[in-house]
Amino acid sequence: MEVCGWAPSQVLGTLQYAGGGWERASVRCNPTGKVTVVAGTSPHGQGHSTTFSQIVADDLGVTPDDVEVLAGDTSIATWGLDSYGSRSLSAGGVAIHKAAERVREKARILAAHELEVAEEDLEWTDGKFQVKGAPDRAKTVPELAFSAWAAHNMPEGVDPVLEASAVFDPPNWTYPSGTHICVVEIDPDTGSTRIDRYVAVDDCGTIINPMVVDGQVMGGVAQGIAEALYEEAIYDENGTLLTGNMSTYRVPSAAELPGYTLGKTVTPSSTNPMGVKGIGETGTIAAPPAVMNAVADALRFVGVEFIDKPASAEKIWRVVQQAQGQAPPDRAPEGGGTGAASMTPGVEGGAA
């Protein structure tokens, strides 16, 4: 499991972190019906524009294509605490949702006024405000956005334009969890490890977009497998980085990685009204021990008591030699403290 969704500001203060953990968003309904969301988070590959559009689309009865998400510019997103620590959805997305709800609340007042009914006589159904018992009498948020912009007929005490902002300071972190199981096969002659099967079942609470969730898990698991079997920054005793580029620092490619079987359970978070938790970091959190436990489990059969990561082919070869009493001379690769060679997938392209 992990703790993420950075974070309750007050708790951050007690931990001596200099900043806060709130997030702010605004939702603006433009007069021609499209919606602009301004997010304080700062995407760099996570697909925020898509997931945030989905949230607002449900909240306001529009489609995701009607929604434009702006972020990453301090002149546009004037307030924000950016993206890291799996916070963009559970802090940022919740702020967006709150802002959208405020927009809908104002829209409800407008709708009641225009339809000349009491607010209690309206219901929000199929993405619009309908008069109970008379569904043909309805108003959509885009229609109300135009009215609020023209402002010809505003109710008493209600200002023109249809927009709202919200700040959300999470009362708690969120705690995604899951179970990953890895099956490996090790070539006894070379120490090479092949991943036969990799199953990842993750629980990130309420799911906004399962494809985005899958993408995050797959990317994280790739980096986690890399950490378990391939990657290691090696320094020598002079402080020289020996693994100074991608030839020596072994970032694995798709050819080395297995296909994954992905599953989900959903246990909504109690931290926020949407029940969402984070997912961006779960792969790198779960995969290294899953893979290493598999390697250790396999090597038990040849008397190896312990092995640490990265479990490169050379390292596996050495620990097996030692366990079987045939320790080679203890001369490690030049300058490095740990076996630096990594493993081969053994079969072309790894498992399908």
Site for another protein in 130-169 (CB under 8 A): none
15 or 118: CB nearest another protein: 15
| Cis preceding linkage at 166, omega within 30 | no
Closer to another protein by Cβ: residue 119 or 126: 126
The token pair at 307 is 């092995």
- Residue of 105, 132, 153, 236 that binds another protein (CB under 8 A): 236
Least distance to another protein from the beta carbon of 153, Å?
30
Using the rule CB under 8 A, give the single segment among 25-33, 113-121, 140-148, 199-207 that binds another protein.
199-207
Name which position in 101, 243, 273, 322 contacts another protein (CB under 8 A): 243
Q: Which of these segments, 25-33, 107-115, 157-165, 297-305, binds another protein (CB under 8 A)?
A: 297-305
**Residue number with CB closer to another protein (97 or 106):** 97
Residues near another protein (CB under 8 A), total? 167
Taking the C-alpha atoms of residue 15 and residue 121, their distance in angstroms, rounded to an integer, is 49
Asked if residue 23 binds another protein (CB under 8 A), the reply is no
Nearer to another protein, 120 or 301 (CB): 301
Q: In the block, which residue shows the tokens 């559009």?
A: 53
Mention every residue, 6+ apart, whose C-beta is less than 8 A from residue 53: 37, 64, 65, 67, 69
Residue placing its CB nearer to another protein in the complex, 73 or 119: 73
> Distance (Å, rounded) from C-alpha 84 to C-alpha 71?
14
Question: Site residues for another protein, window 215-234 (CB under 8 A)?
Answer: 218, 220, 223-224, 227, 230-234
Rg (alpha carbons) of the chain, rounded to whole number: 27
Q: Whose Cβ is closer to another protein: residue 114's or residue 206's?
A: 206
Q: Is 322 in the site for another protein (CB under 8 A)?
A: no
Question: Hey, which residues between 249 and 288 contact another protein (CB under 8 A)?
Answer: 249-253, 255-256, 259-271, 277, 280-281, 284-286, 288
For residues 259 and 215, give the distance between their C-alpha atoms in angstroms, rounded to a whole number. 13
**C-alpha distance from residue 296 to each of 38, 225, 230, 259 (Å):** 48, 14, 16, 22
Which range touches another protein (CB under 8 A), out of 115-123, 137-145, 161-169, 172-180? 172-180
325 makes contact with another protein (CB under 8 A): no
Contacts 24+ apart (CB under 8 A), 73-78: 76/38, 77/38, 77/39, 77/40, 77/42
Handedness of CA 288, 223, 69, 122 (dihedral sign): negative
On whether the CB atoms of residues 224 and 286 are closer than 8 A, the answer is yes
Cβ proximity to another protein, 151 vs 327, nearer residue: 327
Residues near 191 by Cβ (< 8 Å), separated by ≥ 6?
A: 312, 313, 314, 315, 316, 317, 318, 320, 343
> Could you give the string, one character per residue 70-99, with x where binding to another protein holds by CB under 8 A and - elsewhere?
--xxxx-x-xxxxxxx--------------
Instruction: Compute the distance between CA of residue 316 and CA of residue 341 in angstroms, rounded to an integer.
Output: 10
9 binds another protein, rule: CB under 8 A: no
188 binding another protein? (CB under 8 A): yes
SS3 32: coil
111: which DSSP letter?
Answer: H
**Contact, 222 vs 228, CB < 8 A?**
no
Tell me whether residue 32 or residue 245 sits nearer to another protein (CB atom): 245
Contact range with another protein by CB under 8 A, out of 140-148, 150-158, 159-167, 189-197: 189-197
